[in-house]
Amino acid sequence: SQTIHQWPATLVQPVGSPLSLECTVEGTSNPNLYWYRQAAGRGLQLLFYSVGIGQISSEVPQNLSASRPQDRQFILSSKKLLLSDSGFYLCAWTLLADLTDTQYFGPGTRLTVL
């Protein structure tokens, strides 16, 4: 069966520090991968998505970036964090090139920037 991992689960970082969040998927090949950010009790904001290795589509201009160095690995990074980067970061995957397919979400990373 397929499994999605995210780490770390919780992170507290000072303003201006770098960031690296990792997401890996097991049990499938060539998934579509997504990074979302969620404010408390609100909907999800799509940040990046990838349909293949090295292919990244950015949805919002910001100080965040994403990379997909391997088929089942998706990394979210920042060189300098802002207070507004605080939130709950979720990674998700879908298998088929079919938008009726289920999105499976990871457990999320709670990021607090102080």
Binding site for other proteins (CB under 8 A): 32, 34, 36, 41-46, 49, 51, 57, 59, 88, 90, 92, 94, 97, 99-100, 102-108, 110
Nearer to other proteins, 19 or 90 (CB): 90
Give the DSSP H/E element, type plus range, for residue 105. strand 104-105
Nearest distance, CB of residue 77 and other proteins, angstroms: 21
- 110's CB contacts (< 8 A; 6+ apart) are 9, 10, 11, 88, 89
Supply 87's token pair: 């939130």
Nearest distance, CB of residue 73 and other proteins, angstroms: 18
